[in-house]
Structure 1
Amino acid sequence: MTAHSLGRPEVVITGIGMVTPAGADTSTAWKAVCAGQSAAAADPRLAGLGVDFCCAVAGFDPDLVLGEDARRMDPFTQFSVAAARAAAADAGLTEGNRDAARTGVVLGTAVGGQGTWEEQGRRLHDRGPRAVNPLTVPKAIGNIAAGAVAMDLGLHGPSLTVSTACAAGTTALGYALDLLRAGRCDVVLAGGTEAAVTPLVSTAFDRLKALSRRRDDPAHASRPFDRQRDGFVLGEGAAVLVVERAEHARARGWRPYARLLGYGASSDAHHLTAPDPSGRCAQLALQQALEDARVHPSDVRLVNAHATSTPQGDAVEARLIERVFGTDAAITSTKGVTGHMLGAAGAVEAALTALSVDQGVIPPTANFEAPDAALPGIDIVHGAPRTVPVPVAVSNSFGFGGHNAVVVLGSV
């Protein structure tokens, strides 16, 4: 039974663009994630701080990629424009085969142009008002990444920014799905972007005791679900996916990576930073996504977990996964490689999940060495990639403030 026969259009993912700590292009990032190669290392931007390491974007030269425009962009916008260009090229999307008025942009971010705010704040403090860059506001405001993507590609459909903390990239995909199903767009470039590796953000997370403090061994600091996990590793980057109505993709002869089957969202309404320990509202988002996708939990072969390597968050999610899927689905968390990319995380993980569905390969959970005896015995892929058909997969995202978002992907 097709989506059309159920009264709604089928939606597919036809292009992927990534700028990540695992690599500044999709192919490099995918290979590194499948190899379980952690990107965490000391970063001079964080020198002298309590946590002086992160997962920084690798191999990206904004001046080479973006030219003079790079100077007018905060890194979070640089990442998103580069990823969007790559996604559009990967999808074969051109002026000749899309209607600009029916092509939208939906991007998620948690903190926006934080580096610009910090830099200009220092200038104001040290040198006075005349030292502040006149372009500070248009460089730093949170919506500007979506606006810049639309301007760069000449798109005139809806241009939106969502901010649901670390669920933002996944929330953006959900909004894109709604726009396509509602008939407001034929194509949406959807994803997330973040450039929050800054002294203030790193220190703030450290003061919350959210970050790993393995300064002597940063490469093994991000270890989702492992019994010795002690916090997440801050990451940065972007991913943009070209999401379009299947009939539109077929008309231009383009083969998708995967179908975007469903989306669910909920709010814990519990705590500023901690997840509800029961996991009941995160489970609500997951169940909504499965119902929206019209699939049964037994159909799901892969869960790309949010699992950030924090003691509490991973535990809540592991129990949630076990309740819904038992031990039938394979579980991975790619944050062992990329670190936690905040508002970009859900988009990057959805992109990696689409590649798993397309290629039948599940990346390992890097640095997972020993299970936590307090957690259920879920099937965590580790040590090496697993080659297996992935007809249906789920990608989870959970954020500060209790934001929960889940997408379901399926094979073509």
Structure 2
Amino acid sequence: MRITAYTLCSAVGEGRAATLAALRERRSGLTQNDFGSSPIPTWIGRVAGLEQQALPTELADWDCRNNRLAWRGLVADGFIEAAREARNRYGAGRVAVVVGTSTSSIGASEEAYARLDADGRYPVDLRRPIIHTPHSLGDFVQHALGLTGVSVTVATACSSSAKVFAQAERLIRTGIADAAIVGGVDTLCGSVLFGFNSLELVSPEPCRPFDVQRRGINLGEAAGFALLEKQAPSGAWLLGYGESNDAHHMSTPHPEGLGARLALSDALQRAELQPSDIDYINLHGTASQKNDEVEAKLVADLFPATTCASSTKGWTGHTLGAAGIVEAAISLLALEHQLLPGTLNLNIPDLACGPQIRRDNLQREASHALSFSFGFGGSNCVLVFGRDR
């Protein structure tokens, strides 16, 4: 399956070029938390200017922070033009939309409850049911692109916008669609910030993936999209995927990484590759205690020392349901530009880390990359990408 267009927008900038520049310069997008009326002491990956942004008039019914960021992602890198060309090529009913999110537009619902009128009803400007549903994102993207085919919103926590690649591949392979727009969007809101803080998972300082002194995650927001086509002369390859659900605990991974190992094994088998064939791994690497420990052991056990593995959460923060697409896009950038990102803020590696987990960027030839997405509830997805040749 070919990836013929892709884009991303996060705290480090809008579009592929801005993201690549931030990776090269090792410039983080994290800033001290200033979100909401009572900011908790942490750092966040905030996309600037969403409050002042407006959707096109014809899309005003979908207006909310999450869909504003989705629109910003769609228009970056000329992606919306590529999507519309695919619509013209295949037909509006033959291009599927498969997008991932964990919070959808819950921020708009929070605002509505905070502004209930005297009768206990939502304020007039927020009486738009579509923005208060889990499918708000998928519905918005489908209408924004003028598509009429299959539209699915995937919500499997942090693996959401990685699993969209797998679902889209199946839709195309079985003939239900000829192409697919995949992606993910999640934005900051009170439920996310205070919810993760209540779990004691939020770091009061910039996150430090795989470091012995890591103190937790930094939350971020992002949007990313990709166009998948079966018949295309060029573009990077989606070579394989693996999915699993270990259901070990609501917020803690299986202590032996059982589900992650199953997803990895299936992904490599589909791609017909061995661990030694992988040049770069974009790790889930949230900087939480258990996630990093389990993931580091998985990599140390299975991959040769020459493999480059890193977490890019120090650039963008943990973008939750958008993490899969953002890190898939970074993996594609790594292959396209032969730049393998290191891990920001990693000073002293955890003892569980093998030589694969790198602190510094590497400029070297790379043909195959993995992207790991391991979410709450043990929802796991591993993607395998191949360089366009």
Using the size of structure 1 for normalisation, the TM-score is: 0.88
1:59-208 paired onto structure 2 within 5 Å = 63=53, 66=56, 69=59, 72-86=62-76, 87-89=79-81, 93=85, 95-124=87-116, 128-129=120-121, 131=123, 133-195=125-187, 197-208=188-199
C-alpha contact (below 8 Å) 1:269/1:402 kept by paired residues: yes
The CA distance in 2 between the partners of 1:159 and 1:42, in whole Å, is 37
The CA distance in 2 between the partners of 1:170 and 1:232, in whole Å, is 19
C-alpha contact (below 8 Å) 1:106/1:159 kept by paired residues: yes
**Aligned with 2:219: secondary structure?**
coil
Amino acid at match of 2:209: P
Paired residues in the alignment total: 386
What's 1:406 paired with? 382
Structure 1 125/370 Cα, relative in aligned 2: closer, same or farther at 3 Å?
farther
Amino acid at match of 1:345: A
1:2-401 paired onto structure 2 within 5 Å = 11-58=1-48, 63=53, 66=56, 69=59, 72-86=62-76, 87-89=79-81, 93=85, 95-124=87-116, 128-129=120-121, 131=123, 133-195=125-187, 197-214=188-205, 221-245=206-230, 247=231, 249-250=232-233, 255-256=234-235, 258-372=236-350, 374-383=351-360, 385-401=361-377
C-alpha contact (below 8 Å) 2:87/2:147 kept by paired residues: no
Amino acid at match of 2:353: P
C-alpha contact (below 8 Å) 1:51/1:202 kept by paired residues: no
C-alpha contact (below 8 Å) 1:297/1:325 kept by paired residues: yes
The CA distance in 1 between the partners of 2:84 and 2:28, in whole Å, is 31
**Aligned with 1:45: secondary structure?**
coil
The CA distance in 1 between the partners of 2:207 and 2:113, in whole Å, is 31
Structure 1 294/88 Cα, relative in aligned 2: closer, same or farther at 3 Å?
farther
Q: 1:103, CA displacement in angstroms? A: 0.7
C-alpha contact (below 8 Å) 2:61/2:128 kept by paired residues: no
Unpaired runs of 5+ residues, structure 2, are: none
Identity of aligned residues (%): 33
**Aligned with 1:174: secondary structure?**
helix
**Aligned with 2:104: secondary structure?**
coil
Using the size of structure 2 for normalisation, the TM-score is: 0.93
Q: 1:363, CA displacement in angstroms? A: 1.7
Q: 1:280, CA displacement in angstroms? A: 1.5
CA distances 1:271-322 after superposition (whole Å, capped 9, x unpaired): 0100011112211001111111111111111100000111111110000111
C-alpha contact (below 8 Å) 1:17/1:90 kept by paired residues: no
Amino acid at match of 2:100: G
Amino acid at match of 1:333: S
**Aligned with 2:13: secondary structure?**
coil
Amino acid at match of 1:316: V
C-alpha contact (below 8 Å) 2:156/2:379 kept by paired residues: yes
The CA distance in 1 between the partners of 2:376 and 2:176, in whole Å, is 30
Q: 1:212, CA displacement in angstroms? A: 0.3
Unpaired runs of 5+ residues, structure 1, are: 1-10, 215-220
The CA distance in 1 between the partners of 2:167 and 2:7, in whole Å, is 19
**Aligned with 2:98: secondary structure?**
strand
CA distances 1:11-70 after superposition (whole Å, capped 9, x unpaired): 011111212111122221221133221211124324534335311013657636645735
C-alpha contact (below 8 Å) 2:217/2:318 kept by paired residues: yes
C-alpha contact (below 8 Å) 1:88/1:242 kept by paired residues: no
